[in-house]
Amino acid sequence: MAEDYPVITMESDALEAARILAEHRLPGLVVTDQGRPRSTLPASQVVRFLVPGYVQDDPTLARVLDESMADQVAKSLGGKSVGDLITKEAPELAVVNADDTIIEVAAIMARLRCPLAAVMRRPADRRHHGIAAAAGRSGSRITAPTVTRTRA
């Protein structure tokens, strides 16, 4: 079953990217540059950016933060781009070909520990065809990667 899967650019608004991730319950987004897949923005990286470092260092401090503080933390994305959120240690982007088998796609995703893979029409083509995701958005069970159409 094909589903639309959003993609973003390095210049995309970080708050909008966070909204897309949360609204669609996505594990991450593929980041493109001039229509070519360049990186991934894992949801965990957005959370890492939002949660203050001192709370990451000592999670027991999270209990003292109330909901108004959570709103202020979310505002920290204001004026930031997706490029600001992607770290130097960002996971390598999994790239597969449209004619790869499910096992080939799963093996690449597993090796790179990436829940998403950019699917290319042909090896020489630099434009992507879709996204392969480890699980569909409609459920949380582990399934074979499914290719979805992308939309900007």
Q: Does residue 43 belong to any structural domain of this protein?
A: yes
Lowest mean pLDDT among 14-23, 33-42, 61-70, 143-152: 143-152
pLDDT at 36: 80
The pair of three-digit structure tokens given for residue 126, joined into one six-digit string: 């630099």
pLDDT at 136: 54
Q: Does residue 55 belong to any structural domain of this protein?
A: no
The backbone region for 90, taken as left when phi is positive above 0, alpha when psi lies in -120 to 50, beta otherwise, is beta
What are the C-alpha distances in Å from 9 to residues 28, 41, 48, 52, 149? 13, 10, 20, 25, 16
Between 66 and 16, the higher pLDDT residue: 16
Q: How many residues does the chain have?
A: 152
pLDDT at 3: 58
pLDDT at 111: 92
pLDDT at 12: 93
Confidence class for position 63, pLDDT limits 50, 70, 90: confident
Q: Does residue 114 belong to any structural domain of this protein?
A: yes
Nearest to 31 by CA among 5, 51, 49, 50: 5
pLDDT at 122: 67
Q: Does residue 11 belong to any structural domain of this protein?
A: yes
User: 41 near 82, Cβ under 8 Å?
Assistant: yes
Most confident of the ranges 3-7, 51-55, 78-82 = 78-82
Q: What is the CATH number of the domain that holds 117?
A: 3.10.580.10
Total domains present in the chain: 1
Tell me which H or E stretch contains 72.
helix 67-75
pLDDT at 135: 63
Query: What does the angle CA 118 – CA 2 – CA 44 come to, to the nearest 5 degrees?
Result: 50
Could you tell me the residue range of the domain that residue 103 belongs to? 4-49+81-151
Q: Does residue 61 belong to any structural domain of this protein?
A: no
- The mean predicted confidence, pLDDT, of the chain is 78
Look up the pTM and report it. 0.72
Strand order across the beta sheet in which 116-120 lies: 36-42, 28-33, 4-9, 146-151, 128-133, 116-120, 94-97
CA gap 97, 121 in Å, rounded = 6
pLDDT digit string, tens, across residues 100-145: 888 998 899 899 888 888 888 766 666 667 888 776 544 433 344 4
